[in-house]
Structure 1
Amino acid sequence: MRVLLTAIAAISAASPVWSQVAFDNIFSDHAVLQRDKPVKVWGTAAAGAQVNLAFASTTLSVTADAKGQWMATLPATKAGGPYTLTATSGASMATLNDVVMGDVWLCSGQSNMEFQTKYATNAYTEVLNSANPDIRFVTVERDAQPTERDHFAKPLLWRAVGPETTSDTSAVCYFMAKELQKTQKVPIGMIHSSWGGTTIQSWMSQGALRDLKTYDQGLEVLATYSRDQARAKTEWQAIMLDWWQANEPDAKQKAAWATRDFDDSAWDAITVDGFWEGAKPELAFFDGVIWYRTSVTLTAAQAKQAATIELGPVDDGDTTFVNGKIVGATESWNAPRTYAIPKGTLKVGANVIAVRAYDSGGGGGLWGKPNDRRIAFADGSKVALPAQWKYKVSAPLAALKSSPSTPWLATSGLTNLYNGMIAPFAPYTLKGAAWYQGESNVSQPAEYARLLPALIADWRRAFETPDLPFLVVQLANFGPVAKAPTQSTWAELREAQRQTVNADPKTGLAVAIDFGDRVDIHPTQKAVVGQRLALAARKIAYGENVVAGGPQLVTVGRSGADIVITFDSALATYSSAQAIGFEVCDAAKICRFATADVSGMVVTLKAANTPDAKFVRYAWADAPYVNLYSDQDLPAIPFEASVP
């Protein structure tokens, strides 16, 4: 059932434009509608008006409700076209031309799904030769909303791929669609709705998050935000300060780090002109909390004025202090910080600015231009902050519980992107969905194991298809190379993705562990990822008898001095007679590399059957090197498993 209009939309319903019959803004000329299923179409008209629809050989009538909304269900129609779809109400008519019946796929996620074809490997040749009227796409514009939207604010445009348009498509989605159109020989439609740097919580409905029982506090503040932003910000700052007190190691002692009198002479110096990863070799792969300190000298005239402090952006979050007093806190990797300094905070002489910066992955810390950092006074004068600060590591990410996310933030909030970018076109009839996301959740892999199944169930409800095929791209390799076995939240999140797919027969996994880039979180070889998604789709959504993925773990056992791992398909190794990347771990997850012999569908970890062997792992690192494949050239799926 479609959600009710928001208050804003309800007001719009009374406006003259809604007295004319119209299709919803997701429908346009050149649209693709789902073949072989009853298809919902909807729009607006005068309240209570009769709306007559004509499509192919079908005619039917529906009545707009009291708010001017109507919905109709077209009968199942075979692949083909083009068709004209018309809606008439009184003297008013709306027409959609060049509508075709085919398979419609929703492609969503964060930046690796948003990544456009024009930036992909071999893009020039691909785009130049891409013309195909049977592959069409529509892109949903970025829109974060604290409450569900019933429709898009303006019409979206369906377009066929070709030299003038393919550059703008999602590369992963395009290459998947290209492969499916070639194998299924029907029109393929792509609805692309993604946003870089976003967490999975942003893409879930409020109801789905409520069901998890751990997001209620944030959702309540979000509800306040939709009515009173200032009050919500005050409430959330108090919540976050409580979280810091409870979760930062030695928080009470570290409170002194913000004060004027604290002696920071033992702290290291850092030039703050970019992410801390590039400023200090020892911070190259650090995620967690770092404190910064600097000071400025003020005159009596300056100290008594009203003032603000401007810091530029801080990745991902900050708590900022002036002379030991909190002046502001924000969670956003790219929002410039500007905080009012309360009267009486500034002093004559030295004034200490301290910033507690929290980074959950990727770049971290104060990263804007040094000349954008200043204290600005009421009389218009300014005092620049130094480019060089002192810093001290407070805690690595592993030592912290996942920080609550400011609920109204577009990229890391709660339900905002579902509200603005999914709900407005549900329940558009789909063939399936493809999901490439997780990089922004690597700090919370255990929680992701709860969230991903909940997202899948949520979207199946929204699109009214309980068995909607759902394809997941497993995170690609990225980050530091491991010279020894190590803990890896990237590997843990991949395992959450694998287990989610294994538990749901209508899901598929596209493994990308061998086509990432250890120094670029946005690898450009998107064609392979799209082709692997298409393989998964052919098996899960189309029921074809194809090998849809690489070899997967089936059993683990002990055999004499060895540990034996069986897979579900024949194995092959590249560049070595042995497979690399296997580990054996004790109960505390202290691991060692293992020599791995390969024969048929079996990997034997030689001399690994020791009394302390409790777990085995494969490709367990942020950016592992792998050489174990199927004879179809598909990589073995990374895993962790207990040893019976």
Structure 2
Amino acid sequence: MRKSIWFLSGIAIAFSTTALATPSLDASYGDHMVLQRGQPILIGGTAAPGAKISGTLGSVTATSTADNAGNFTLTFPARDASAVPITLSVTDGSGTITASDILIGDVWLCSGQSNMEYTLERSDGGALAVQNSADPQLRILAVPKSSIPEPSRNFGKPASWAAASPATVPDFSAACFYMTQQLRAKLGIPIGAVGSYWGGSQIRAWMSSPSATKLYGADQMALLHRYAKNPLDAVTAFAPEWEKWWKGKTGGEPWRNPASIDWQPVPKISPWGEWAGTPLAKNTVGNVLLRHTVDLTKQEASADGTLSIGIIDDGDMTFVNGHPVGDTFSWDSERHYRVPASYLHAGTNEILVVASNSWGEGGFQSPADHLNFVIEGGKTIPLSSGWQFAVAKTSEMPPHSPWDQIAGIGVMHNGMIAPLGPMRFKGGAWYQGESDAGIPGYAGKLSELFAGWRRQFGNQMKMLVVQLPNYGERSDHPVASGWAQIRDDERTAVAADDNAALVSVIDIGRFDELHPPDKLDVGKRLALAAEGEAMPMPTAVRSGEGKIVITFDGIEGGLHAFSGDHPLAVELCGLDQPSCRYATATINGDSLQIADDGKPATRVRYAWSDAPIVNLYDGRGLPVPGFEMKISR
């Protein structure tokens, strides 16, 4: 599917419902759903602009009027939890839509990237969990993946609520399933679980429009909206920023002068890791220039064309005769770029693709026959062979466009959160951050994510954040760590919020496994936090009388250092990284004490590395989260 069509199709769907005679409900509402207890029940949908809407939920009625865009919201009174099914009917006078078998209980939104997406059947014990999953009062809704530049009221593909069963849960989030299953057992009421996640996604992809505008500015949002209307126009506007970055890193502009590059023949249309005998066979991470030419007659060059280069893993910026025609970051979307006739000329036309890969094998992922140049109303010119390549001078990743499929500004919110409408949730569970390691400002982004969810789903939402697990390089000395920084940003955002909890899983991961398969313990800890159990959190670090004291909240049964006489991974730091050193801490009830070693100390860090080894827990066996805190005097 063409990328421009793929993006725009979500918008087309979003507005087509207003033309229908029968009202339409927002994507999250339907048969077998669970609605949130104890909160006004809001039902969103679309109808003809100005239509008078009436609805009945059980035996209670409500009315509304569709606005100028055809959007309406029906508000029903709050209800207590109930496993007795009820029916919703909504009419605008010209037609009626119904949803049946509706329960009332607690509803949770689970979102994030691959560790939240990690499926139940793949998790430790997953086969048995699937086999024993049947529960008519645990309902799930799996949101289809959709990345679009404008908010939609519809999912990218049809999706529906279903009761948990061996037929419905295998591909659902393991962490989310285990959490909500635990809540079902504990509370004895209906539970709804909405899974909306995408592996590899950055947090900015999940931002609401107000939050995205606040963080990234009106200009970037305008460029995103521009892409929705005319992708080529937006690529043309974004290209100077990209080109400036590239020239600064490499000193060259190969799209203007491809003959200046020392080209080699592409061995075959395949991932780079399969290019035996080339440097890319051993190291696929970085940027690679790809070149091809197309010979056109004067008549052929007078027509628009479409350049198809298949899937490029991960990203590409593509030029034709020095003109930017496409910019995509996606490892599963085929590229089809419109090329205006004004960019073409009779004779040899230059195609140059700057392909970027941050992980995995990279390069061409589609069959060779998917690569071609199609002349509008004319012939198809195969591009299945004859490519040349050159490894670029920089391996850094170029700037990402606002419409980037996996890390664009709000693109996943638009396709996977906005369609949930005004539905009320008990809370949200967020497990993400891996893709943001090394990018500053995560704490502020997380706070804005909270704000966006609460604007849409209500201020009652409790936010549960799973701190990143221990993955990456192990170290026997204090180091700087992007993963540790994300963990502390998660802690900071939660500490600043009066209705949030941090769930540490720093002891569950493996240094060589990005996706720890033990999601049962993740789910159990999420359920504890969801129930209101206090989680271990550092609150203050103070020095005086020759010692430094770290105090904690959320500790039950005191602190304990397992398999040793003191906690591991405690550090004292001065102003810079070289000043950091391991320190011996002793436990005193719910606090830690460190003897002042006489060296400069402005900060205390705990578990500050990608894959720390930890042994500090409270009496429930809950680990203390990783953190960095300033020392107060």
TM bracket, shorter-chain basis: 0.7 to 0.9
Aligned amino acid, residue 81 of structure 2:
A
1:420 aligns with 2:380: no
Aligned amino acid, residue 202 of structure 1:
A
User: Residue in 1 aligned with 2:450?
Assistant: 456
1:610 aligns with 2:599: yes
Mean Cα displacement is larger for which, 474-483 or 309-318? 309-318
1:14-56 Cα distance to aligned partner (Å, 9 max, x none): 33444xxx6444222221111122211244567634525151x
* 8 Å Cα contact 1:314/1:364 also seen in 2: no
* 8 Å Cα contact 1:563/1:608 also seen in 2: no
Distance 1:41 1:300 in 2: 57
Shift of 1:418: 1.7
1:533 aligns with 2:526: yes
What secondary structure does 2:478 align onto? coil
Distance 1:24 1:625 in 2: 46
User: Residue in 2 aligned with 1:620?
Assistant: 608
Shift of 1:188: 0.8
User: Residue in 2 aligned with 1:14?
Assistant: 19
Shift of 1:513: 1.5
* 8 Å Cα contact 1:488/1:622 also seen in 2: yes
User: Residue in 2 aligned with 1:475?
Assistant: 468
* 8 Å Cα contact 1:277/1:363 also seen in 2: no
User: Residue in 2 aligned with 1:552?
Assistant: 538
1:65 aligns with 2:76: no
Distance 1:291 1:88 in 2: 54
User: For residues 244-643 of structure 1, what are the structure 2 equivalents within 5 Å?
Assistant: 244-245=246-247, 248-249=248-249, 251=250, 253-254=251-252, 290-292=286-288, 313-319=311-317, 330-334=327-331, 335=333, 358=356, 362-363=359-360, 365-366=362-363, 368=365, 380=381, 384=385, 391=391, 394=394, 404-444=399-439, 446-463=440-457, 465-539=458-532, 546=533, 548-550=534-536, 552=538, 554-557=540-543, 560=546, 563-568=548-553, 569=555, 570-600=558-588, 601-605=590-594, 608-611=597-600, 613-643=601-631
Aligned amino acid, residue 602 of structure 2:
K
User: Residue in 2 aligned with 1:542?
Assistant: none
1:217 aligns with 2:248: no
User: For residues 101-180 of structure 1, what are the structure 2 equivalents within 5 Å?
Assistant: 101-152=104-155, 156-180=159-183
Shift of 1:177: 0.5
* 8 Å Cα contact 1:62/1:70 also seen in 2: no
* 8 Å Cα contact 2:34/2:190 also seen in 1: yes
* 8 Å Cα contact 1:628/1:635 also seen in 2: yes
Shift of 1:508: 0.9
Q: How many residues align?
A: 601
Given the superposition, is the C-alpha separation of residues 261 and 154 from structure 1 closer, same or farther in structure 2, using an over 3 Å criterion?
A: closer
1:454-482 Cα distance to aligned partner (Å, 9 max, x none): 1111111112x224211111112222223
Structure 1 residues not aligned, in runs of 5+? 398-402, 540-545
Aligned amino acid, residue 461 of structure 1:
R
Shift of 1:170: 1.6
Shift of 1:500: 0.2
1:75-133 Cα distance to aligned partner (Å, 9 max, x none): 22211132322426469554433221101111112222222211111011111112222
Shift of 1:12: 3.5
* 8 Å Cα contact 1:275/1:363 also seen in 2: no
Aligned amino acid, residue 618 of structure 1:
Y
* 8 Å Cα contact 1:551/1:629 also seen in 2: no
Distance 1:299 1:61 in 2: 63
1:504-530 Cα distance to aligned partner (Å, 9 max, x none): 110111112222233332221111111
Given the superposition, is the C-alpha separation of residues 262 and 375 from structure 1 closer, same or farther in structure 2, using an over 3 Å criterion?
A: farther
Work out the percentage of aligned pairs sharing the same amino acid. 32
Shift of 1:496: 1.0
1:143-170 Cα distance to aligned partner (Å, 9 max, x none): 2232222344776422111222221322
Distance 2:624 2:517 in 1: 21
Mean Cα displacement is larger for which, 160-169 or 86-95? 86-95
Distance 2:20 2:318 in 1: 46
* 8 Å Cα contact 1:312/1:369 also seen in 2: yes
Give the superposed CA RMSD.
Answer: 4.2
User: Residue in 1 aligned with 2:4?
Assistant: none
Given the superposition, is the C-alpha separation of residues 258 and 581 from structure 1 closer, same or farther in structure 2, using an over 3 Å criterion?
A: farther
TM (normalized to structure 1)?
Answer: 0.80
Given the superposition, is the C-alpha separation of residues 390 and 256 from structure 1 closer, same or farther in structure 2, using an over 3 Å criterion?
A: closer
